[in-house]
Amino acid sequence: MMKKIFIIISIAVVSIVKAQVGINTTTPNLSSMLDIVSSDKGVLFPQYELVSLTNNTSPVNNPVKGSIIYNKGTGVSNYPKGYFYWTGSAWERMLMNNEVDQILRVQVFGGTSGQPIIIPSGTGNNIVSFNSTGIINTIPGVTFSGGQNITLPAGTYRVDVTLDCYNDSTSVAAFITNYSFFVVNAGIVNTSNTLLTDLKTGTQISGSGYAPGKIQGYKFTYILQLPVSQSVRFMLNHGNGFSEGGNTYANQSGLVATFYKMYE
């Protein structure tokens, strides 16, 4: 008798292991391995505070590609709330349509003549003044019509900045023959010029005082969190290096700053 019961239980266990799983349903959909049915409840994924997007030991040890977690974004995490999936090398946030659509793009036009100075000679801070034309804005609550101050509503933003420029100095010390070492610092500040983000540093070896070797290109990315609506600015300066000998001008593509408002 006990042997028969054991056989029946063993068959049942094997059937359960191989079968589809239905929660709150006895007839799970044939196309799914897991079918959850409810009229008034949802599914809750594991929730963490992400402190690194590339850490493959914490919060999940050796995550499988495609693993999904939810970042609470309320404590030590510097990343916005939302679902993240493991790409195999990093946690990538899942974006919603309204996140991608909500952007502000401002720029400083370059050109082939009469280019504006975006970093004056020396190592002092310079607040960038953006053009009043060419503005793209789909973020409700933004106030900006050109100049230095950009008023943003409260929220979390990813800010991408690209800079196409050149330095006109002919007096800086050469790093190698006819080429010098340039350093550019960049950050987002408030109206008191206090940093709201980390200060990014870009370095480049390029010619100085003659074309075309003097052209430089930089790209900076920030996460900006604003608890309340406030005005922000973009600050540039020449860092410690051989770059303080002349002015830095916007080249043909100029300077472009794009603010992506993240969904929260």
Give the per-residue pLDDT at 239.
84
DSSP class per residue in 29-80: -TT-SEEE--SS------EE--S-SS-SSSSSSSPPTT-EEEE--SSS--S-
φ, ψ of residue 39 in degrees (nearest 5) = -100, -10
Banded pLDDT at 128 (limits 50, 70, 90): very high
- Picking from 117-121, 171-175, 259-263, which range would have the lowest pLDDT averaged per residue? 171-175
Give the per-residue pLDDT at 98.
57
Q: Has residue 113 got a pLDDT over 90?
A: no
Domain residue ranges of the chain, discontinuous segments joined by +: 2-95, 99-261
State the architecture of 99-261 in CATH terms: Sandwich (2.60)
Q: What is the mean pLDDT of the chain?
A: 84
Show contacts of 199-207: CB within 8 Å, 24+ apart: 201/239, 202/163, 203/239, 203/241, 205/175, 205/176, 205/179, 205/180, 205/181, 206/166, 206/167, 206/179, 206/180, 206/182, 207/178, 207/179, 207/180
Tens digits of residue pLDDT in 2-25 = 555 555 444 444 445 556 888 999
Q: Which residue has the tokens 């003044």?
A: 129
Q: Give percent above pLDDT 90 in the chain.
A: 54
The pTM (predicted TM-score) of the whole model is 0.63
